[in-house]
Amino acid sequence: MPIATVNPATGQTLRTFEPFGPEVVERCLGDAATAFAAYRTTSFAERAELLNRAAALLEEDIEDVARTMTLEMGKPIGSARAEAAKCVKAMRWYAAHAEELLRDELPAAADVRDSGASAVRAHYRPLGPVLAVMPWNFPLWQVVRFAAPALMAGNTGLLKHASNVPQTALYLGELFHRAGYPRGCFQTLLIESGAVAGVLRDPRVAAATLTGSEPAGRAVASVAGDEVKKTVLELGGSDPYVVMPSADVAAAARTAVTARVQNNGQSCIAAKRFIVHEDVYDEFAERFTAGMAALTVGDPMEESTEVGPLATEKGRTDLEELVDDAVEHGATVMCGGRRPERPEHGWFYEPTVLADITDVMRVDQEETFGPVATLYRVAGLDEAVERANHTPFGLSSNVWTRREEDVARFVRDLQAGGIFVNGMTASHPALPFGGVKRSGYGRELSGHGIREFCNITTVWQAAERS
């Protein structure tokens, strides 16, 4: 894929960029290593001052950067503004809390004595330059949720962003430079996917984080494993949204629409499989389908638009193939299921609900990355749990019920990195984020996220001998 801004609402190529050559990449790697040698010794107060400056600049730039994101990947402009504001919040949160999150940990006094020491502590030290391979769907947020904790821990960052959001990628590099970070602390690498392995194998790169597809995660993890380097992977998801008989069905259906089509349906943590108890299935299906059918599809720059285009032409083609396969195998199209008739040549797809899903359909096991929902009818709690776990993924999950017994069962048995009860999945700086199974490993955000790229060092001091 060329490095280019292609407006997904029109299919028009707006700008193209030449990838960095070997000399430029080498310079960036050298700058990252040189910067780390000095930056790792800065205080938390110094790092917080820099990060707060970056947050203030981003806050001033929200309108411009939101328009850039919308032009590059098609999210509604209101969602783009909200994404930028969320990044500001996360940056300020880590600036305020990093020192506390990385405070030395002290074992119990009895354990200190038993170890033969006068003092013992676990100390957190930064690892070094970290390579971040990031996706296009949340082109600002995915980067900031890595960069803010990594920089506050004393690491430096190298960003390889998706090839279809180069202007957002370049903006991020400039943002940290404008905030006053020393040269090399955070750099954007305009490189193609084939160049990632060479950067990761460079001995100056200490670790890597990737958010993206399962194949991309496998590729990065394979190279990192061969080099014995730490990785954090956040991959795909096919999150269940379970509705039990005691639920507020109207609220569940209303929230389900937002949960499915957030970011034009292109979100790993969007609810995708709607698993509904037979006692409330008909009511939920009717309300949910009506809500999906009523959504306004259109130009993402228009304030009234609720669902914009898919980010890439291939993304729409992949989605169409999943829907067509389901229909060929007997799925019922409750609404949507086709491209809307529009004068422009963008990559739009109607909000779609599919029912009567069976195990032979690809959509049952593969992620639908777009505004397509699947409906399942279940007879009870056991079947709901079984169906929820019936995919290779385990990112997040949603459960609607008023029975605490149901909640306890889902918390015990759902195979997911998050369980959201009577609401939709969302991320917050204070909450750990990540998945299990083929959704990846490691955690972002919270204290868990900032400690992922730290050398957890045991410091043991001998007891004085008389």
Choose the catalytic residue: 268, 306, 350, 452.
268
| Cα(332)–Cα(322) distance, integer angstroms | 13
Q: Which among 78, 81, 73, 66 is positioned nearest to 304, based on CA atoms?
A: 78
| Cα(401)–Cα(244) distance, integer angstroms | 5
Owner of token pair 């060329």: 2
How far, CA to CA in Å, does 391 sit from each of 336, 415, 436? Answer: 24, 10, 11
Question: Is 268 a residue of the active site?
Answer: yes
In single-letter form, the type of residue at position 54 comes to: A
Burial of 8 (0-12, 13-18, 19+ CB in 10 A): buried
Choose the catalytic residue: 234, 306, 444, 452.
234
Question: 150: which residues sit within 8 A by CB, 6+ positions away?
Answer: 130, 132, 157, 450, 453
Triad 27, 19, 369: Cα angle to 5°: 120
| Cα(117)–Cα(462) distance, integer angstroms | 4
Owner of token pair 């800065």: 42
Neighbours of 283 (CB within 10 A): 15
Task: Indicate the pairing of strand 436-437 with strand 239-243.
Answer: unpaired
The token duo for 206 is 């200490």
Q: Which helix (H) or strand (E) holds 227?
A: helix 214-227
Q: What 3-state DSSP class applies to 345? A: coil
Question: Is 234 a residue of the active site?
Answer: yes
DSSP state letters, 157-185: EEEE--TT-HHHHHHHHHHHHHTTPPTTS
Q: What 3-state DSSP class applies to 462? A: strand
Catalytic residues: 234, 268
